[in-house]
Structure 1
Amino acid sequence: MNVRRLIPTAALAGSLTLGLVALSACSPSDAADDAGGGARKSGGKLAVVTSFYPMQYLAEEIGGSHVDVSTLTKPGVEPHDLELGTRQAAQLGEADYILYLKGIQPAVDEAITAAGVKNTVDAASLTTLEKHGAEVGHDHGDEHADEHADEHAGEEHAEEDHAHEGEAGTDPHIWLDPVKYAEVAKGVGASLEKADPDNAAAYRKNTTTVVERLTALDSAFEQGLADTSTKTFITTHSAFGYLAERYGLTQESIAGISPESEPSPARIKELRTIAAKDKVGTVFFETLVSDKTAKTVAADSGLKTDVLDPIEGITDKSKGADYVEVMESNLAALEKALGAK
């Protein structure tokens, strides 16, 4: 299936804005002048700080010309292990509005709580989070499930060590499901209207546009993945549980919810069995984490490798300039790997 480009975006403008923000605030007093809410308010824009790219994208697209957006996670930085510097903490305190996703960046969660900014929005509160493990989605069948019950139980225990990845072990990767991401977009729009009522009409209009784009993206995924030779895909990072569940697929991850966790020998053995049984031909890796493990597993099982991007940041290696373009690339990669008809 050829996926048409769904969104013309302002990605370059957003990048320029971030570049200017990054050059500002070399001292606490400078931060108050250049990154502070007072300075930007007097200039007519809401000073918005976001935690990482999926939040930045919504803030920029919905806020439009009425917001000045900066992000705590620089392009190319793996967001899960972000540690905040003094300047970034000061930046939070000077914000008019903060948008983040609780449970994916512990250091950010702590700093945002300490900042005490009135208009602070947790994207996780705008939709419903679920628990996802190493295997999510389409049912392999009782026999397969019983055969590997012990190994999966081991994976679940291992993932408990990464409890910071979501509230009570929930999966925070909601933005990889266009439907859930649209729910978040609606909540962000409503919160911006409340924070800046003078520009409520613009935020409402922009929210409608974003939701329409995400709805179109959802339709493209639903149609593109409706008829495939296999429903199973293997990925290094268990980030695609919501996507798998939405479109009737099975995600089998090498690691768990945390991209840095190491797979057990039992898990590697299990993946070989799954690949053979479910006719899996590709192991996916991502742009911000080493592909060493994926390539090792692929070589061991005679499989190919390709990129399935969790879109935690946009870099020059990303297959697209913004969220929707990269999601389109993800769809194309899944169609190819799964044998879409």
Structure 2
Amino acid sequence: MSRNKKAKWTWGMAALLSALLIVSGCGSKSGGSIVEGKINVITTFYPIYEFTKEIGGEEVNVVNLLPTGVEPHDWTPKSQDMVNASKAQLFLYNGAGFEGWVPSFLKGLNKDSEVKAVEVSQGIQLIDAEGDDGHNHGASDEAGHEHSHEAAGEAAEEERDHSHDEAAAEEHAAGSGTAEGTSHHTDPHTWVSPKSALIMAENIKNSLVDADPEHKAQYEQRYEALKDKLAKLDQDFTEQLSGLPKKDIVVSHQAFGYLCRDYGLTQHAIMGLSPDAEPRAQDIVNLTKTVNEKGLRYVFFEELVSDKLAKTLANEAGVETLVLNPVEGLTKEQAENGENYFTIMEKNLQNLKKALQ
């Protein structure tokens, strides 16, 4: 092989290897890659990703960290996720303790990163829930709001103090977990209620306008369209659930506190705030009694976690199971079928109506 041909071959192999590394590092596992010339936004899980894409449109490249079909409570980011986040303009996370890995993740970003971290649940009246969530999700500790990384510090200064006293009283009416735990944790599942989703969408829009004021009109226009859809969904939940005879639901894990608070329901959860928080045998006995006393006909389960406990309880109580989806992520089948936050929430509404008749 001549020197020129050898040089070309070596260069070609190097280029191929580089391309393979880029593809493997930024493929489906990391949810996408950074695109030059656009506002790059990293989102932590599905609902934030969907709302950001809707508002951001063509001006924004959105990279979702959580892979399709993965339940987010136990997921942790990879090194490539840190690389992407360091190059992005915005890092949007739910907050309220949902992503326990965020503080250390932000501290690990490149020192020269200019990414701005935004907690999109800010402004929502948060709910205090009783009982251990199994993974310290939602626990009140300063680490959850302490960002040493300079870029994240800007977001930390903007975070509002959330008062939980009134919300805790309302949560008692909205229903808490079955465990007799003495610890209190913030319920992070804000997005499951359209009323909270409206606040989150506005926070996302504001963060995009701050990062890219040149396209403010486009962001505002697309936000208004999303706002109209969320307001319609809120209206549907309000009107269609208000007149139903039953007000109690039995669910897999304690993810529906905001939905229950906003639409006058009470949840009875098999597990705590995390779907991995193990119930006790006495909890199953108590829930079976609740199902029978209140004349409930269904126990709700969700697709991204095992339905074993829900089916066990349903068998014990002699009732059936139905899906109630906390919209933490899409299954691969749902993604392939074009499902989204709105189609899933519409199915949730129909199943709630069926169960509460």
Query: TM tier, shorter chain?
Result: 0.7 to 0.9
Distance 2:75 2:210 in 1: 30
User: Residue 181 of structure 2 corresponds to which residue in structure 1?
Assistant: 156
Q: 2:49 aligns with which of 46, 49, 56?
A: 56
User: Taking structure 2 as the reference length, what is the TM-score of the superposition?
Assistant: 0.75
Q: Equivalent residues in 2 for 1:107-256 (5 A)?
A: 107-115=101-109, 117-133=114-130, 139=173, 154-157=179-182, 160=183, 169-256=185-272
Q: Which amino acid in structure 2 is aligned with residue 219 of structure 1?
A: Q
Q: Does residue 325 of structure 1 match 2:321?
A: no
RMSD: 2.7
User: Residue 40 of structure 1 corresponds to which residue in structure 2?
Assistant: 36
Distance 1:138 1:312 in 2: 24
Decide whether the 8 Å contact of 2:86 with 2:115 is kept in 1: no
Q: Report how far residue 201 of structure 1 moved.
A: 0.7
3-state DSSP class of the match of 1:105?
Answer: coil
Structure-2 change in CA distance of 1:338 and 1:46 (3 Å): same
Distance 2:57 2:181 in 1: 42
In structure 1, the gaps of 5 or more residues are 1-22, 29-33, 161-167
Structure-2 change in CA distance of 1:139 and 1:172 (3 Å): closer
Decide whether the 8 Å contact of 1:235 with 1:252 is kept in 2: yes
Decide whether the 8 Å contact of 2:70 with 2:331 is kept in 1: no
Q: Which amino acid in structure 1 is aligned with residue 46 of structure 2?
A: Y
Distance 2:352 2:22 in 1: 41
What whole-Å deviation, never above 9, does each CA across 1:266-310 have from its counterpart, x for those lacking one? Answer: 211111111112111100110100000100010011010011001
Decide whether the 8 Å contact of 1:254 with 1:268 is kept in 2: yes
Q: Does residue 313 of structure 1 match 2:310?
A: no
Structure-2 change in CA distance of 1:273 and 1:111 (3 Å): same
Identity of aligned residues (%): 34
Distance 2:264 2:43 in 1: 32
User: Residue 275 of structure 2 corresponds to which residue in structure 1?
Assistant: 259
User: Residue 96 of structure 1 corresponds to which residue in structure 2?
Assistant: 89
Distance 1:303 1:80 in 2: 28
Give the number of the structure with larger relative contact order, counting CA–CA contacts within 8 Å between residues 6 or more apart. 1
Q: Does residue 277 of structure 1 match 2:293?
A: yes
In structure 2, the gaps of 5 or more residues are 1-20, 27-31, 132-167
User: Residue 70 of structure 2 corresponds to which residue in structure 1?
Assistant: 77
Q: Report how far residue 108 of structure 1 moved.
A: 3.7
Decide whether the 8 Å contact of 1:137 with 1:248 is kept in 2: no
Decide whether the 8 Å contact of 1:53 with 1:314 is kept in 2: yes
User: Residue 302 of structure 1 corresponds to which residue in structure 2?
Assistant: 318
Q: Report how far residue 54 of structure 1 moved.
A: 1.1
- Bigger Rg, structure 1 or 2: 2
Decide whether the 8 Å contact of 2:300 with 2:310 is kept in 1: yes
